[in-house]
């Protein structure tokens, strides 16, 4: 049996696939090694909900047969991955991170899992999440069936919500990539906190069929990976039309790096000066300024912009309240909501049923102003650069609304981009207080190829995405 070296757990998708094709190890050997690792180390970060070893090993055996016959299905063939536990896996518990749903089982796979299965990817685990993806506004990192998501860089810090398990699992080398979900920051935040590259696709590009709904008009699924290229390889397979998702955009995604970018001197990237001067937390400012200089060195044009002053966070909160209140109405009225871990979240979910329809409709009307504002910004630039989060991960023991170091940036890119349904990619760009921080590129709808291309160039000039946390074997 081939020995799986520790470096393999942090290899890129392309590197793993090349080694499988070269028969350096079998898919079964690789899958067993990842299963052993996630079962042993995953609980250390409260990242593992359910090991899927048995079905993973069966799938790996099939992949080995295919590779023996030189039947290839693409770069994800034989690659072990995990999914946030809001995605249905046939005949397996899907807990939505919440005690009342601990024994919930579906008789089908989520559409995104079906697509990954067809190209030979190996699903080895379901990964932890904040209960109900944070619906109701949780206050503690411990708002989860599995406990607080712990950051592999420092277990006294949060791995981020609500995709806490995917963030920790990829960072610690427990899976090669993971599928997370975002309603307002749940891919970008844990990616930034854990030193990953995370891609939030355009609204509707990836089917949500088989995923827990929190907000029909905001929910998105996307990859959390080691690099921009890995995100592209995963998105290439998971994007596409699905008649079972009413929000499907009817678009696919083809990763075409050779045809994507114009000359760099013709690309304009907008930014808000305060973000890269003294707008972020003091410990992170140097990393953000250095990242800005790297982007500038690529030869692109940089243009100062201003994000209009709109109540981005309040709009997201009202829209989620209106839609999640409808989705979880029976759950709330039944009293099962009281079994959740976070009292603040319980109260928040109950309050959703009292939201006047006029407030929801008013928020949707103001949302149209947000979309128009971003449309106008993109008349003068191709994408927007900003810090993903203004500082490093929170301390697990502190309430999430504990005031942090003072900042001057309004930090509206995450809620604003989600309201407008825009794609974004988060790129590790350094450290603050010994913890990862990241920048994001935000683009027009269906601008993923261009965001990935600039992300690739940034990652050729830096090595932050290759840094590993001090994970003991």
| Residue 44 CA, distance from chain mean position | 21
pLDDT in tens, 68-123: 999 999 999 999 999 999 999 999 999 999 999 999 999 999 999 999 999 999 99
DSSP class of residue 252 equals -
Catalytic residue among 12, 176, 186, 409: 186
- Residue 259 confidence (pLDDT) above 80: no
How high is the pLDDT of residue 1? 65
Predicted pLDDT of residue 365: 98
Lookup result for tokens 């939505």:
96
- pTM for the full model? 0.98
Closest CA to 206 of 224, 189, 229: 224
- 87 C-beta neighbours (distance < 10 Å), count: 27
Average pLDDT, stretch 356-383? 97
How many whole angstroms from its chain centre is CA 38? Answer: 19
Q: Which residue shows structure tokens 């080398």? A: 173
Q: Place 257 in a pLDDT band, splitting at 50, 70 and 90.
A: confident
- Give the DSSP H or E segment for 151: strand 150-151
Query: Do 367 and 315 form a contact (C-beta atoms < 8 A)?
Result: yes
What are 187-238's pLDDT values in tens digits? 999 999 999 999 999 999 999 999 999 999 999 999 999 999 999 999 999 9
Q: How confident is the model at residue 329 (pLDDT cuts 50, 70, 90)?
A: very high
Asked if 175 and 169 touch (Cβ cutoff 8 Å), the reply is yes
Question: What letter would DSSP give residue 93?
Answer: B
* Selection from 168, 172, 132 nearest residue 148 by Cα: 168
Quote the DSSP letter at residue 83: E
Residue 60: C-alpha distances to residues 74, 109, 113, 117, 336 (Å) = 15, 18, 15, 11, 39
Domains and CATH numbers, the chain: 28-473 (3.90.1300.10)
Residue (of 35, 78, 61, 6) closest to 169 by Cα position? 35
pLDDT of 133-149, one tens digit each? 999 999 999 999 999 99
DSSP string, 276-312: GTTSS-GGGHHHHHHHHHHHHHTT-EEEE-------H
Q: 320 by DSSP, 3-state: which?
A: helix
Q: CA-CA distance, 153 to 72, in Å (whole number)?
A: 36
**Torsion angles phi and psi, residue 46, rounded to 5:** 55, 35
- Report whether 303 contacts 270 (CB < 8 A): yes
Tokens representing 212 are 């827990």
- Asked if the model's pLDDT at residue 292 lies above 90, the reply is yes
Q: Please give the average per-residue pLDDT across 462-473, as a whole number.
A: 91
Q: How many angstroms separate the CA atoms of 308 and 369, rounded?
A: 10
Q: Give the strand order in the sheet containing 383-387.
A: 48-51, 122-127, 80-84, 177-182, 220-225, 197-200, 424-432, 435-443, 383-387, 268-271, 301-304
Question: What pLDDT is recorded for position 410?
Answer: 75
pLDDT of residue 256: 87
Catalytic residue chosen out of the listed positions 26, 32, 59, 84: 84
Question: Is 248 assigned a catalytic role?
Answer: no
- Residue 350: the pLDDT is 98
Left, alpha or beta for 145 (phi > 0: left; psi -120 to 50: alpha)?
alpha
CA-based nearest residue to 189, from 384, 424, 464: 424
Share of the chain above pLDDT 70, in %: 100
- Note the pLDDT of residue 404: 81
The pair of three-digit structure tokens given for residue 255, joined into one six-digit string? 């990763």
Number of H helices, E strands in the chain: 15, 13
Q: What is the mean pLDDT of the chain?
A: 96
| Marked catalytic residue, from 26, 128, 144, 162 | 162
Assess whether 460 carries a catalytic annotation: no
Query: CB within 8 A of 446, min separation 6: which ones?
Result: 202, 205, 249, 251, 253, 423
| 186 a catalytic residue | yes
Model pLDDT, residue 473: 63
For residue 261, the model assigns a pLDDT of 76
């Amino acid at each position: 049996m081939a020995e799986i070296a520790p470096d393999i757990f942090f290899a890129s998708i392309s590197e793993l696939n090349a080694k499988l094709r070269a028969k350096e190890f079998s898919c079964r050997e690789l899958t067993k090694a990842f299963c052993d690792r996630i079962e042993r180390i995953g609980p250390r970060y409260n990242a593992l909900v359910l090991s899927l070893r048995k079905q993973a090993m069966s799938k790996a055996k099939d992949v080995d047969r295919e590779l023996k016959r030189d039947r290839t299905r693409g770069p994800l063939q034989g690659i072990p991955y995990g999914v946030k536990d809001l995605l249905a896996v046939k005949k397996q518990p899907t807990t939505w991170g919440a005690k009342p749903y601990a024994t919930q089982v579906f008789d089908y796979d989520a559409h995104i899992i079906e697509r990954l299965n067809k190209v030979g990817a190996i699903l080895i685990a379901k990964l932890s999440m904040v209960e109900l993806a944070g619906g109701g506004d949780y206050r503690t990192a411990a708002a989860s069936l599995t406990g607080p998501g712990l950051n592999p860089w420092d277990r006294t810090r949060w791995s981020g919500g609500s995709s806490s398990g995917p963030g920790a699992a990829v960072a610690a080398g427990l899976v090669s990539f993971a599928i997370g979900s975002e309603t307002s920051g749940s891919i970008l935040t844990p990616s930034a906190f854990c030193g990953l590259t995370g891609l939030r696709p355009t609204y509707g590009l990836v089917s949500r069929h088989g995923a827990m709904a929190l907000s029909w008009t905001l929910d998105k699924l996307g990859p959390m990976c080691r690099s921009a290229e890995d995100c592209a390889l995963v998105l290439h397979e998971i994007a596409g039309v699905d008649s079972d998702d009413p929000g499907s955009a009817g678009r696919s995604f083809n990763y075409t790096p050779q045809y994507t970018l114009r000359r760099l001197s013709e690309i304009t990237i907008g930014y808000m000066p305060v973000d890269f001067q003294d707008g972020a937390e003091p410990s992170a400012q140097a990393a953000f300024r250095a990242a800005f200089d790297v982007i500038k060195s690529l030869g692109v044009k940089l243009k100062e912009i201003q994000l209009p002053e709109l109540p981005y966070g309040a709009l997201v909160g009202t829209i989620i309240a209106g839609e999640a209140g409808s989705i979880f109405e029976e759950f709330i009225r039944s009293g099962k909501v009281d079994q959740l871990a976070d009292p603040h979240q319980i109260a928040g979910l109950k309050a959703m049923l009292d939201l006047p329809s006029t407030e929801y409709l008013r928020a949707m009307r103001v949302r149209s102003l947000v979309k128009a504002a971003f449309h106008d910004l993109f008349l003068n630039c191709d994408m927007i650069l900003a810090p993903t989060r203004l500082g490093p991960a929170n301390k697990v023991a502190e309430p999430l609304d504990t005031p942090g170091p003072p900042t001057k940036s309004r930090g509206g890119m995450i809620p604003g981009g989600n309201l407008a349904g825009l794609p974004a990619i988060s790129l590790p760009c350094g450290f603050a207080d010994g913890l990862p921080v990241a920048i994001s590129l935000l683009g027009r709808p269906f601008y993923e190829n261009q965001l990935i291309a600039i992300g690739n160039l940034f990652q050729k000039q830096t090595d932050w995405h290759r840094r590993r946390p001090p994970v003991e074997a």
